[in-house]
Amino acid sequence: MTSPSPDTIENVIIVGSGPAGYTAALYTSRANLKPLVVEGFLWGGLLQQTTDVENYPGFPEGIEGPELMQRFRDQAERFGTRFITDQATKVELCDEPAGVHKVWVGDDEYRAHTVILAMGAEHKKLEVRGEEELSGRGVSYCATCDAAFFKEKPTMIVGGGDSAMEEAIFLSKFASKVIVVHRRSEFRASKIMLERARSIENIEWLTPYAVEEFHAGEKGGLEVARLRNTEQDETREIAIAGAFIAIGHEPQSHLVKGQVDLDDEGYLITEGRSTRTRKPGVFGAGDLVDHTYRQAVTAAGSGTQAALDAEWYLRDTPGIPKPAGLPQGDLAEAQWAPIRES
């Protein structure tokens, strides 16, 4: 993309590029709104770091996460979506109806009547001693990305959800052993994922333990994890070369903090069943909003809702030049009004 003209006001800028962002792009591009997606360097969101996706409808044999995201992107591009493969660095949201919102990518300022926020969520940190220092030197948040560095080496996974099971199963193909360390004896993971992990010989289980600290060896890489029993007064040290943290996610809402409503955990708050935020013309979708379902298919669904909310806003707000191609007239009104007002 070339630098923007200061006179250009986009219909819609979408910040973020997981299933929510790309689906919002697909719908708004099919509505002739020519969306601009600020997709980040590592576009595609967390699915880029996943292997088999078996629960996205329409793919009975399953599909690799990166291939699924490539398909989402291609489909949005086919209808005229434009992409900036870089990070949004600043967002300024306007309070006035029909106002102009601003999104910066470095020094370039982009302006739009509507913004769809779909920045998603990132891996949560344990926040224990040694974690940050050893990140990239034994501590990792992505087995799919880093497992190959741990061939025939002892490793551990921290966490008890589906992500932890998925990571353990993948890692077990490379590491000599994978110890799943979880702070409770019950697991949050689904039965099918837990059973799959339990059937693998080189996966071991250590509960109820929490990591207290990671230690480096003489060469500077991870060598030891100190664990604390969460039910008894006992600590132990285990020798490992790799530790993969899979304890959930946190929303990437820092760009809009103080401008829209966020809950205590930083998730974006939207109005009722809509994707509207408290700023007119600003909508939220995907994992940035949803801490309950957090599935690719639900994120895609909310991307659709945000696209439709943005369309209706552009169509119905006095003072905004009406983009061609939007649903118009009584039929559209009868169809959309009850949903829009809910």
Residues near ligand NAP, by CB under 6 A: 55, 126, 158-164, 166, 183-184, 188, 190, 210, 247-249, 294
DSSP secondary structure code for residue 315 in this structure: H
Min dist CB 288 to ligand NAP, Å, is: 14
| Smaller CB separation from ligand NAP, 68 or 308 | 68
Which long-range CB contacts under 8 A does 46-50 form with residues at least 24 apart? Answer: 46/18, 46/120, 46/121, 46/122, 46/249, 46/287, 47/18, 47/19, 47/296, 49/142, 49/144, 49/145, 50/144, 50/166
Q: How far is CA 124 from the centre of its chain?
A: 12
* Dist CA 272 CA 274 (whole Å): 5
Which residue out of 108, 142, 261, 316 is catalytically annotated? Answer: 142
Amino acid at the residue 179: I
Residue 94 is among the residues annotated as catalytic for this protein = no
Minimum distance from CB of 54 to ligand NAP (Å)? 6
In the complex, least distance from residue 209 CB atom to ligand NAP, rounded to whole angstroms:
9
74 is catalytic: no
Closest distance between ligand NAP and the C-beta of residue 192, in Å?
8
The Cα 69–Cα 90 span in angstroms is 25
Cβ proximity to ligand NAP, 208 vs 221, nearer residue: 208
Given 94, 146, 162, 290, the catalytic residue: 146
Q: Which is nearer to ligand NAP, 82 or 188 (CB)?
A: 188
B/e letters for 41-76, b = 16+ CB within 10 Å, e = fewer, are eebbbbbbbbbebeebeeeeeebbbbebbeebbebb
CB of 132 to ligand NAP, least distance (A): 15
| Active-site residue flag, 142 | yes
Nearer to ligand NAP, 76 or 169 (CB): 169
Nearer to ligand NAP, 143 or 247 (CB): 247
Cα–Cα separations (whole angstroms), residue 151 to 143, 148, 242:
12, 6, 10
Q: Which of the residues are catalytic?
A: 142, 145-146
